[in-house]
């Protein structure tokens, strides 16, 4: 199982009247999310829960087990769970086809658009490529927030 770290103060609020809104990094640490919050995050982004054989929450860590058809599908499962306010880590054991590259994630610090993120990266990547790599979790090049973790494009 691989462990992926997330900023627990950042992410979308999972419950209550603020559900779906982005948690500010200046706000207090939100409560740990329940299993239903993570399942709703998957549903919100249209991710195939049928490929998840195991979902457990222990404190602020989400344990995922399942299978994915591509690197992007695997990475979206990890990011959908990890970018929920209150989650500090995702431990994932997700089977992918042989030769699938490992995930490459990046936490947004101060950038306000994916074009700004791309300009700061050492890789030759554009804002449009970042958007494509992160859809449907990110819907436009300015649909990002500080503390959010995004996916860097990979071959597969």
Architecture per CATH, 103-149: Roll (3.10)
Cβ pair 114, 85 in contact under 8 A: no
Mean pLDDT of 91-100: 94
**For the chain, what percent of residues have pLDDT higher than 90?**
59
Q: Average pLDDT over the chain, rounded to whole? A: 89
**pLDDT for res 50:** 56
pLDDT tens for residues 104-128? Answer: 999 999 889 999 999 999 889 999 9
pLDDT for residue 15 is more than 80: no
The DSSP call for residue 47 is -
How is 90-105 classified by DSSP, letter by letter?
Answer: EEEEEE--TTPPPP-E
pLDDT tens for residues 29-70? Answer: 888 898 888 888 888 888 766 577 788 889 899 999 999 889
Ranking 22-31, 41-50, 101-110, 137-146 by mean pLDDT, the lowest is 41-50
Q: Which of 88, 107, 78, 80 is nearest to 32 (CA)?
A: 88
How is 64-132 classified by DSSP, letter by letter?
Answer: EEEE-SSHHHHHHHHHHHHTBTT--EEEEEEE--TTPPPP-EEE--S-SSHHHHHHH-SS---HHHHHH
d(CA 116, CA 136): 20
∠ Cα 154 101 150 (to 5°): 50
* Domain residue extents for the chain: 1-93, 103-149
pLDDT for residue 91 is more than 80: yes
What predicted TM-score, i.e. pTM, was given to this entire model?
A: 0.90
């Amino acid at each position: 199982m691989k462990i992926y770290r997330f900023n627990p103060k950042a992410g979308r609020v999972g419950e209550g009247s603020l559900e779906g809104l982005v948690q500010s990094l200046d706000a207090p640490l939100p409560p740990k999310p329940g299993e239903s919050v993570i399942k709703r995050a998957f549903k919100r982004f249209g991710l195939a829960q049928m490929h998840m054989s195991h979902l457990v929450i222990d404190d602020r860590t989400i344990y995922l087990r399942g299978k994915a058809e591509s690197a992007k599908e695997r990475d979206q499962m990890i990011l959908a769970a990890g970018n929920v306010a209150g989650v500090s880590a995702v431990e994932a054991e997700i089977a992918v086809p042989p030769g699938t590259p490992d995930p490459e994630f990046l936490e947004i610090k101060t950038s306000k658009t994916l074009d700004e993120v791309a300009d700061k990266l050492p890789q030759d990547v554009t804002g449009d490529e970042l958007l494509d790599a992160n859809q449907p979790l990110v819907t436009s090049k300015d649909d990002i927030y500080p503390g959010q973790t995004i996916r860097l494009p990979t071959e597969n």
